[in-house]
A and B are shown apart, each in its own frame.
Chain A
Amino acid sequence: MLKFILRRLLELIPVLLISITLVFFMVRLAPGGPFTAEKSFTAEAIERLNEHYGLDKPIMVQYGNYLLNLLKGDLGPSFQYPSRSVNDIIKETFPVSLELGALAMLFALFVGLMAGIVASLKPNTLQDHVPMGLAMTGICMPSFVLGPLLILIFGLWLGWFNASGWELPIDRVLPVITLGSAYAAYISRLTRGSMLEVLPSDYIRTARAKGLSEANVIFKHTLKNALLPVVSYLGPATAGILTGSFVVETIFNIPGMGRMFVLAAFNRDYTLILGLVVFFSLLVVAFNAVVDILLGLLNPKLRMHS
């Protein structure tokens, strides 16, 4: 297992290097720069700013400096938010996205698994069609439709929730549902599919024949195997959901990382874009590794192969 984790870590290096290099040069190709403003700065001011941030140096030197600082864990200063470093911004915004994403993932898992199991027990009946119909709607309904719809009903008409913000615990409800539903829908389809594959197996029949309770058969015997595709889906999905969703964070005005990411690109905040890409890549690779380990634990066959 140690060797496996070590290999994963080593694989991280080229992935990071490639993404940093691509992003580093690509953001500089975009027209305009961090100091392009409507009320233009004087030429001297821009010159001094470039000097201050080292943007006057040859691009390869800038690239080298960035990598050196990165090794020290320093992602540099933000251009758009001059008093804050990229590290500060990640420290401040990631916990918010993490909380939103984790809650949304829990919601998605709970609802998705339940719906999937319920549907798979009586395929092609109403008990199957209703949750799967809802799931289909969930997959198709983009969050920029679902979010405002939920706000309209539960915020404006019923007055139960705030339309936006991240102040009170209750403010988490609508964004979590909005962000989680598409994932819930996907998980429910995956669960139903693999449950249907596993349920007719011989060992399930044996379990039933032994006289085990239905709950025991489903949750202990069937679900464990049926979970495999769900778990492999969870890796990248979790990384994606945790780093924040621009749409959901914008609709609900949530101070998370997703919004920062898009704003950084609009603002040509080179260091912030790069910093977030580095952080995001780390998360994706880490979660994929976690999933691989989990899959290994769930399925001895996989462990043997690796």
Chain B
Amino acid sequence: MNLKNTALLICALLILSGCKRRETPVQIGNREQIMHINAGSEPQDLDPQTTTGGVESKIQDALFEGLVAWHPDHTDPYPGAAESWDISKDGTIYTFHLRPNAKWSNGDPVTAHDFVFSYQRLFSPSLSAPYAYMHYVIKNSEAYTKGEITDFSEVGVKALDDHTLQFTLKAPTPYFLRLVRDRSSYPVHPGTILKFGKQDERNTKWTHTGNLVSNGPFKLEFWQTNRKVKTARNPHFWDAENVKLNEIHFYPIEDMTSEERAFRTGQLHITKETPQERIKFYKENHPDKIRLKPWLGTYFYELNTTHPPLDDVRVRQALAMSFDRTEIVNYVCKAGEPAAYNLTPPDTAGYTSRAKMEYNPEKARKLFAEAGYPNGEGFPKMEILYNTHKAHMGIAEVIQQQWKAALNIDVELLNMEWKTYLAMKHEHKYQIARASWIGDYIDPSTFLEMYITDGGNNNAAWSNKKYDDLLKKAGAEMDQEKRYEFFQQAEEILMTEAPIIPIYNYRNKALVHPAVKNWKPNPLDRHPYKYVYLEVDE
């Protein structure tokens, strides 16, 4: 028994000696300007040209700087690696003047040639950069990407000298400055790329710890799979004096509950989201920590227009106007999301759609009767497809119930795992499916172009020639007002034809520690880290 008692005593002492309320990473961080952010999952890669996710762009925004940058106070294009730019009168030639003092994290100067190298890489056929298509407004870039031409000097990206970069566009593109702010146009360091492979080679190790060279306010310290990406202030950054944070650590926490627990125990300054069931708690008890801000995205239902009776526009319209969106945002979403009656979120770069869907069960019943289903009789069984998520299920249940009440139809819910859900949508093996779209840049085109005939993301398989024409016209229009008018008309067609049913506009639901300063709301959730600092209020 003596032995046992001694062992117990030792254990107890060990536990007690080690256990006291410790200083949290956030407290240490506030003192030493080290910020801890949850990126949301493991980044696929840190290469700005081959990645597409928000997780990656969060980290890339710290490591790289594009020609045009963000400012915390507004969404207008703001000088980044380029200190100024000129636009030709017809809007097709953009000339950027690069900062002569801009440097890579290894001390090399950032030149216009580096940008040309990066664009050539972005458009090279063998890299198959997923976002290359977004930049097809640059002259001949599409032909080069598709291998139709092989001489890159024919593409509209040129270095006039070391610090002057010129783009020639195939049509005036009023949103071009917003486009070059996308991470796919971030420059990469030619020396580093070529050290680890060919210019257009995929899967090289240039982004790994110790290899990556970047031109942003922060440089990569280390990246360990599923643990974290640690970045530290880049002393060679042209504006390093004004960078206040010493380090930013990005974590790959996927599980929302784990994330929220990490926030509560002082391990994270900023979370990706707030679990739905905790929103009310934070709103009531810690309103200084929860930030519910508009996010440029729309949650909607897609209708497979090749599947009868959804090929009948009356049926689609009836479905769209027979449920109450406010019930969904108030009782399921709960973060103050605005109900959406059209696709493009309100005030997208000054554009707000005139066309709106309505909530009118009476009219819906009439339309349904006209389509041959009076009081829902004879309407075939339909399924709502959604990917695994509590909120998607909640919304589908509300709609299921309201359709039953308004139209007397029965729909079933079909929950699928993410990739299965995506495959079913892409292959049009569904009837009604949950969908969402987050803008890539702030312009209505990022939403409306989704529904051009045979568009890669047009899972509704909807086609309307007039709609296609209007978007084409908008693409060639220089005058912003006329351009928006084309979008207005297009969106009107989209809302009348109803291949999709908008439900609500997204909100960003991050938890942010009160010590984080200059972390301002941004519709694309982009936060220029060089302005951010940590300060505990007295």
Chain A residues packing against B (C-beta within 8 Å): 30-33, 36-45, 48-49, 52, 77, 80-84, 89, 92-93, 96, 148, 151, 155-156, 158-167, 170, 215, 250-256, 259-260, 263, 266-268
Interface residues of chain A: helix, strand, loop or mixed (majority): loop
Known: A36-B419, A42-B133, A148-B257. 13 other contacts (CB 8 A): A40-B456, A40-B457, A48-B125, A83-B45, A156-B261, A160-B20, A160-B21, A162-B25, A163-B258, A163-B262, A165-B262, A253-B255, A253-B262
When the two chains form their complex, are residues B255 and A251 in contact, meaning their CB atoms are under 8 A apart? yes
At the interface, yes or no: B226 with Cβ under 8 Å from chain A? yes
Given the complex, which residues of B lie within 8 Å of A158, measured CB to CB?
Answer: 19, 21
At the interface, yes or no: B204 with Cβ under 8 Å from chain A? yes
Shortest beta-carbon distance, A84 to chain B, in Å? 7
When the two chains form their complex, are residues B254 and A250 in contact, meaning their CB atoms are under 8 A apart? yes
Given the complex, which residues of A lie within 8 Å of B426, measured CB to CB?
Answer: 36, 40
At the interface, yes or no: B420 with Cβ under 8 Å from chain A? yes
Can you pick out 30 interface pairs between chain A and chain B where the beta carbons lie within 8 Å of each other? Answer: A30-B420, A32-B419, A36-B419, A36-B423, A40-B456, A44-B128, A44-B146, A45-B128, A45-B129, A81-B44, A82-B45, A83-B47, A93-B225, A93-B226, A158-B21, A159-B22, A160-B18, A164-B253, A164-B262, A164-B267, A165-B262, A165-B267, A166-B227, A250-B254, A250-B255, A251-B255, A253-B258, A255-B224, A260-B225, A266-B417
Q: Chain B: which residue is nearest A34 at the CB level?
A: B419
Shortest beta-carbon distance, B222 to chain A, in Å? 11
Residue of A40, A48, A160, A161 with most chain B CB atoms under a 10 A cut-off: A40
Residue of A39, A43, A148, A255 with most chain B CB atoms under a 10 A cut-off: A39
Query: B208-231 CB contact bits vs A (8 Å, 1 = yes)?
Result: 100000000000000011110000
Q: Chain B: which residue is nearest A89 at the CB level?
A: B225
Given the complex, which residues of A lie within 8 Å of B254, measured CB to CB?
Answer: 250
Given the complex, which residues of B lie within 8 Å of A89, measured CB to CB?
Answer: 225
B44 in complex: contacting residue of A30, A80, A163, CB < 8 Å: A80
With contacts A40-B457, A160-B19 known, is A92 near B224, CB below 8 A?
yes
B226 in complex: contacting residue of A41, A52, A256, A266, CB < 8 Å: A256
When the two chains form their complex, are residues B422 and A37 in contact, meaning their CB atoms are under 8 A apart? yes
Chain B residues packing against A (C-beta within 8 Å): 3, 18-22, 24-25, 42, 44-45, 47, 50, 52, 125-126, 128-130, 132-133, 145-146, 202-208, 224-227, 251-255, 257-258, 261-262, 264-265, 267, 417-420, 422-424, 426, 456-457
Q: In the assembly, what is the distance between CA of A176 and CA of B419, in Å?
A: 33
When the two chains form their complex, are residues B265 and A255 in contact, meaning their CB atoms are under 8 A apart? no
Given the complex, which residues of A lie within 8 Å of B206, measured CB to CB?
Answer: 83
Residue of B20, B125, B206, B253 with most chain A CB atoms under a 10 A cut-off: B253
Interface residues of chain B: helix, strand, loop or mixed (majority): loop
Given the complex, which residues of A lie within 8 Å of B208, measured CB to CB?
Answer: 83
Given the complex, which residues of B lie within 8 Å of A251, measured CB to CB?
Answer: 255, 258
Shortest beta-carbon distance, A77 to chain B, in Å? 6
When the two chains form their complex, are residues A49 and B128 in contact, meaning their CB atoms are under 8 A apart? yes
When the two chains form their complex, are residues B261 and A38 in contact, meaning their CB atoms are under 8 A apart? no
Q: In the assembly, what is the distance between CA of A110 and CA of B316, in Å?
A: 65
A164 in complex: contacting residue of B42, B128, B145, B261, CB < 8 Å: B261
When the two chains form their complex, are residues B45 and A52 in contact, meaning their CB atoms are under 8 A apart? no
Shortest beta-carbon distance, A42 to chain B, in Å? 6
With contacts A253-B251, A267-B419 known, is A156 near B22, CB below 8 A?
no
Given the complex, which residues of A lie within 8 Å of B424, measured CB to CB?
Answer: 31
Given the complex, which residues of B lie within 8 Å of A77, measured CB to CB?
Answer: 203
Q: In the assembly, what is the distance between CA of A73 and CA of B18, in Å?
A: 44
Shortest beta-carbon distance, A227 to chain B, in Å? 19
Given the complex, which residues of A lie within 8 Å of B128, measured CB to CB?
Answer: 41, 44-45, 48-49, 52
Given the complex, which residues of B lie within 8 Å of A159, measured CB to CB?
Answer: 21-22, 265
Q: In the assembly, what is the distance between CA of A279 and CA of B226, in Å?
A: 19
With contacts A266-B418, A267-B419 known, is A48 near B457, CB below 8 A?
no
When the two chains form their complex, are residues B265 and A41 in contact, meaning their CB atoms are under 8 A apart? no
Q: In the assembly, what is the distance between CA of A296 and CA of B258, in Å?
A: 44
Given the complex, which residues of A lie within 8 Å of B133, measured CB to CB?
Answer: 42
B261 in complex: contacting residue of A39, A163, A260, CB < 8 Å: A163
Given the complex, which residues of A lie within 8 Å of B261, measured CB to CB?
Answer: 148, 151, 155-156, 163-164
Q: In the assembly, what is the distance between CA of A266 and CA of B405, in Å?
A: 37
Given the complex, which residues of A lie within 8 Å of B203, measured CB to CB?
Answer: 77, 82-83
Given the complex, which residues of B lie within 8 Å of A148, measured CB to CB?
Answer: 257, 261
The 3 closest A-B pairs by CB, nearest first: A32-B419, A255-B226, A32-B423
When the two chains form their complex, are residues A42 and B456 in contact, meaning their CB atoms are under 8 A apart? yes
Given the complex, which residues of A lie within 8 Å of B129, measured CB to CB?
Answer: 45
Given the complex, which residues of B lie within 8 Å of A81, measured CB to CB?
Answer: 42, 44-45, 225
Q: Chain A: which residue is nearest B208 at the CB level?
A: A83
Given the complex, which residues of A lie within 8 Å of B20, measured CB to CB?
Answer: 160
Shortest beta-carbon distance, B269 to chain A, in Å? 14
When the two chains form their complex, are residues B418 and A41 in contact, meaning their CB atoms are under 8 A apart? no
With contacts A83-B47, A158-B19 known, is A252 near B258, CB below 8 A?
yes
When the two chains form their complex, are residues B207 and A83 in contact, meaning their CB atoms are under 8 A apart? yes
B419 in complex: contacting residue of A31, A167, A259, CB < 8 Å: A31
